[in-house]
Amino acid sequence: MRYLMIPEGLLDGKIIPVTVVFMFADEIEEAGLTQDEAIIKVAKEFTGPVAINIFDKNAITTTSDGLVVEGAIVRMGAADGGKVNEDFGILPMAEIPYSEERIKDEPHLIQWKKLFPERKLFRGPDPAKKLIPVHNVTITGRASNNNSATEMMNIITMEELIFPILGQLECINDGNVIVGYTGEEISVGIGMTVAEQFGRVFPHPQFHAGETAHNSGEYAKTLKREIPCIVCDKKVIAEKTIRALKCGCVPARELGCSPVVLSVARALGSEIDFDRIQPSAQAELDSVGCTREWMHEKLNLTEEEVIARADELIPGVTDGKKHKVSEIVFEKELVI
C-alpha cells in the first residue's frame, strides 16, 4: 500500500519539525486494514516524530474562514520512536450529517448544498470522543498533530509547521505549494473563523463570521508570523474563494473576514458585509493593512484576472518559494 511523506528536516532553510505522512481511506480499506492499524503500521517505518493524516478524497471539509473544499482528513495520528500512544495517538474526525438545519445554522455550508450535496463532510473530532480536553490534537512522545491535523509540532524542540488543509490537499493531488513563513496576514486570518459544530479548532459554534477568535489586537499578527508553513498555490485559494462568493457567500456574513477572503472580494469588487466586521476584528485587520479604506478600493477585476494575479493580490507567506508537489512529497510503499 502506498503512502505519501514529507520528511522531517530542512526544506528551503525552514524547519519541518516532524515527518508528515498522508494515507488514503479507500486504499487502507482495499488493503484490508482498519485506519488505526494503518497508522500503527506506518508509524513503525520511522524512528522520529511523525504526523499521520488519513484522507477521504471523496469527502469535503471547510477551511477556517469557511471555504468548502474537496477532500477531508478523516483520522489523524501522531507517532514517535515507531510507537503510537495508546490514549492520545489517534483521533477520528466526526462526520457531519447533511441537513437543511445544519446549513441554516452554518450559512457558509450553502456551498455544500450547491456544489456537493452528495459528499460527506468532516472537520474536527466529536469532543465527547476525545480524551484531551481542549485542543483537537494527537500526541505521541515528541510529536503533536494539532488543530485537527493542520499544525504539526515537535514538543521538545518546540518547532512547528502550519499546514493548512488546502496545502495538504495540493500535496495529495499532486498540485503546487508554497513553502515559506506564515507571515502576519495568515497569522491574523487564522483567527477569522466561522462558527461550526465539531470544527477543526473549536468543538462548538463559537466565533462567527466577522469576529476574531484571537481578539488580541496588534498581537494577533505576531502569533504565527515566524512559523514555517506549507500552503497551496495562491491561484488555488483564489479559485476556491471565488467559487464560494459565487455561491452567495459574503465576507463577514457567511465567510470569515480573513485577509485572503477580503482580498479576493476587493479585487472582484464584490460585496463585503462591513457592518458585521467587529471592532476587535477590524483592529487586527488594520494592523496588517486591511483597513476599511483599503476594503472600499474595489478593483473590479474579472475572475480570470484575479486568479492570474493571485500572487500579487492575495497576501500571506514571507520568504515563500513555489514547489511542484513532486519536489517535496515522496511516495513510499508500505508492505502489508
Partner 1 sequence: MKLMHTKLTEFIEKMHNAAKHGKKEKSVTIRGLENLKSAKMQSLRTGRIEDAVTDLAEMENIDSVEVVVIPRVPETMHTVLVKGKDKDGKTEKIVLEVINIIHPTEEVEFDGCTNIVDHRPKIGLH
Identify the residue whose cell numbers are 461550526. Answer: 196
x/- contact string, 88-127, with partner 1 (CB under 8 A)?
x---------------------------------------
Identify the residue whose cell numbers are 492499524. Answer: 37
- The type of residue at 41 is K
Nearer to partner 1, 140 or 187 (CB): 140
CB 136 within 8 A of CB 125: yes
Q: Which of 11, 137, 238, 288 forms a contact with partner 1 (CB under 8 A)? A: 137
Residue 236 sits in the site that holds partner 1 (CB under 8 A)? no
CB 51 within 8 A of CB 152: yes
Residue 144 sits in the site that holds partner 1 (CB under 8 A)? yes
CA-to-CA distance for 199 and 222, rounded, in angstroms?
24
Q: Which of 15, 31, 70, 83 forms a contact with partner 1 (CB under 8 A)? A: 83
Minimum CB separation from partner 1 for residue 29, in Å?
Answer: 28
- The type of residue at 34 is T
Binding segment for partner 1 (CB under 8 A), chosen from 83-91, 174-182, 235-243, 297-305, is 83-91
Binding segment for partner 1 (CB under 8 A), chosen from 32-40, 75-83, 222-230, 327-335, is 75-83
Nearest CA-CA partner of 152 in 228, 219, 38, 258: 228
How many positions of this chain bind partner 1 (CB under 8 A)? 21
CA-to-CA distance for 193 and 289, rounded, in angstroms?
19
How many angstroms separate the Cα of 6 from the Cα of each of 94, 170, 314?
A: 26, 13, 26
Binding segment for partner 1 (CB under 8 A), chosen from 1-9, 65-73, 149-157, 191-199, is 149-157
Identify the residue whose cell numbers are 456544489. Answer: 115
Q: Which of 8, 65, 80, 185 forms a contact with partner 1 (CB under 8 A)? A: 80
Q: Is 161 helix (H, G, I), strand (E, B) or coil?
A: strand
CB 149 within 8 A of CB 222: no
Nearer to partner 1, 147 or 241 (CB): 147
The footprint of partner 1 (CB under 8 A) covers 80-81, 83, 85, 87-88, 131-135, 137, 139-142, 144, 146, 153, 155-156
